[in-house]
Amino acid sequence: MEQSLFSEGLNLLMLGMGFVFIFLVFLVFATTFMSNILTKFAPEPEPVRKSKKRASSALAKQANDNELVAVIAAAVHHKNLQKNH
């Protein structure tokens, strides 16, 4: 009795894991197939390059750097004023 119950449990275990494994393999193939179809009919658009933006971003970065220097200088000045009092 005990041996047949144990063998039935192993049989059920293998059957369940087998079905899950087969389903996951099917899922991998299905998603790969759908991905291939999607890239064939709707390819990704190529990114548009803008050279004007680079020049303006360099100016914006310089302006941000100047503002950062001013903020740091004001903070140091404020700290020095507090230290003296």
Q: What is the pLDDT of residues 10-64, one digit of tens each?
A: 999 999 999 999 999 999 999 999 999 998 888 777 888 776 555 566 667 777 7
Domains contained in the chain, number: 2
Domain check: are 30 and 63 in the same one? no
pLDDT at 2: 67
Range of the domain at 16: 1-42
Average pLDDT over residues 72-79: 90
Domain check: are 3 and 37 in the same one? yes
Dihedral, CA of residue 11, residue 13, residue 19 and residue 24, to nearest 10: -150
The reported pTM is 0.46
Place 1 in a pLDDT band, splitting at 50, 70 and 90.
Answer: low
Q: Is the per-residue pLDDT at 84 higher than 70?
A: yes
Residues in the chain: 85
Q: Is 53 exposed, middle or buried (0-12, 13-18, 19+ CB in 10 A)?
A: exposed
